Amino acid sequence: MNETVHSRRRAARSVASPKETTRTNDPERTMANILEVAMAEFAEKGLAGARIDEIAAATQTSKRMIYYYFQSKEGLYLAVLEESYRRMREIESQQHLEDLEPEAALRKLVEFTFDHHASHENYIRLVISENMNRGQFLAQSQSIQQLNVPAISAIRELYERGVASGVFRPGLDAIDIHASISALTFFNVSNRHTFGMIFKRDLSDPQIAAARRTAIAEMVLRYVRA
């Protein structure tokens, strides 16, 4: 644990009210709890609509402690964004794509991304929210670039293996492949309500979702095949 966290722990003990003392004895747990609640709050209401008072009440802490840990509402929002991406990339890194043949690895990556987005609607909402903010808060992040390097590296590695073995066509860009996977899987959650209303098709229906999952994986594979 670094000196900053140690100093925050000592300071938190000195300023905490009796109600807060037990929580601030474990700052890492307190911060994790705040992030979890804030993630749902920002996902549901966006940066403008989210209320620190409600986050404080739900975490049984105070606005003062939230500001102590995250400096501001915007600081908490940025921490939530970073944590959302970190969780996504952490789970993604556990897929062991390097152990599979290139086509199987790419199919697994597409299917994982589809499943992750389908089961993490708050992540989708947060990304939409930050796009509405034109990415201005992620632009302030000191870690977001590094968080996403492994995702592109994994795609580049499996794609190059596929090219070397003759199953993938040369000349494609790893970031472009990533963008295509993201766009196709993201839409299924981000637009499910409007799309479903217009075309009377429930994209969350298990049978429809399974067929869509298979179709998206096949689209991506056909795009990269030699």
The domain limits of the chain are 3-71, 81-224
Cα distance between residue 138 and residue 144, in whole Å:
7
DSSP 134: T
Cβ(141)–Cβ(79) below 8 Å: no
Identical fold between 3-71 and 81-224: yes
What tens digit of pLDDT does each residue of 159-217 get? 999 999 999 999 999 999 999 999 999 999 999 999 999 999 999 999 999 999 999 99
The band of 19, judged by pLDDT with boundaries at 50, 70 and 90, is very low
Question: Residue 120's closest CA among 152, 86, 93?
Answer: 86
pLDDT value at residue 27? 87
pLDDT at 2: 41
Q: Locate all alpha helices (DSSP H) within 50-170, ordered by sequence.
A: 52-59, 63-70, 73-93, 102-119, 121-132, 144-165
Class of domain 81-224: mainly alpha
Instruction: Using the predicted structure, report yes or no on whether residue 67 has a pLDDT greater than 60.
Output: yes
Query: So what's the pLDDT on residue 86?
Result: 94
Three-state secondary-structure class, residue 225: strand
Tell me the C-alpha distance between 183 and 84, whole Å: 18
Q: What is the pLDDT of residues 84-142, one digit of tens each?
A: 999 999 999 898 999 999 999 999 999 999 999 999 999 999 999 999 999 999 999 99
Query: Is the pLDDT reported for residue 10 higher than 50?
Result: no
Tokens of 164: 């070397």
Alpha carbon distance 23, 13 (integer Å): 10
Rounded CA separation 199/226 (Å): 35
Question: Does residue 157 surpass a pLDDT of 70?
Answer: yes
What 3 state SS string does 23-56 have? HHCCHHHHHHHHHHHHHHHHHHHHHHHCCHHHHH
pLDDT at 48: 93
- Are the CB atoms for 195 and 203 separated by under 8 Å? yes
62 has pLDDT over 70: yes
d(CA 71, CA 66): 7
Which of 1-10, 65-74, 115-124, 203-212 shows the lowest mean pLDDT across its residues?
1-10
CA–CA distance, 113 with 127 (Å, rounded to integer): 15
How far apart CA 86 and CA 11 sit, in angstroms, is: 28
In whole angstroms, give the CA distance from residue 153 to residue 80: 24
Find the mean pLDDT for residues 56-79. 94
3-71 maps to CATH 1.10.10.10 = no
pTM confidence score: 0.85
pLDDT confidence of residue 24: 54
Confidence (pLDDT) at 26: 81
96: number of Cβ within 10 Å? 10
Q: Residue 113 — φ and ψ, nearest 5°?
A: -60, -45
pLDDT of residue 112: 96
Mean local confidence (pLDDT), 144-154? 91
Cβ atoms of 98 and 158 closer than 8 Å: yes
